[in-house]
Structure 1
């Protein structure tokens, strides 16, 4: 059962990561259009994005018992990154 939950959490994190990466790539193409406040937000979101990717890569390596906690933390961080990207997009 734990393996099933671990695999499910890993797949969900990978899906979130793909969505975030896609949004990041789209915004990165438009970076030259950013206003000053959007540039500041972009820098902060990029740092969170890097943190998300780093932590997501560790999911498969962590103990099965902590997968739920890791998934919850990564989901929250992923949501913060997407919200940041949305703020950048709105301020363009």
Structure 2
């Protein structure tokens, strides 16, 4: 998932740079910025869910492997 992390980092950097300059912009630019900030919040929340989902997925895979090994040990013991 390095491509997603790079996308996130690139977008965050661009956002931070624009945010520093937006106060000098026109009213239209400020209105567009407000909308972009709303969309950024949505993206950021979804990005965090994506990261959490990957962490959960990795944990489930490890647990599944451990259960498989345990079941095999029990089966051999019987």
The two structures share one fold, judged by TM-score above 0.5: yes
TM-score bracket for the superposition, by shorter chain length: 0.5 to 0.7
- Unaligned segments of structure 2, at least 5 residues: 58-78
Cα offset for 1:60?
2.7
TM-score of the superposition, structure 2-length normalised?
0.62
- SS of the aligned residue for 1:62 comes to helix
Which structure has the larger Rg over C-alpha atoms?
2
Q: What are the within-5 Å matches in structure 2 for residues 11-90 of structure 1?
A: 11-62=2-53
More contact order relative to length (CA 8 Å, sep ≥ 6): 1
Aligned residue pairs: how many? Answer: 55
- Unaligned segments of structure 1, at least 5 residues: 1-7, 65-92
Runs (4+) off by over 3 Å: none
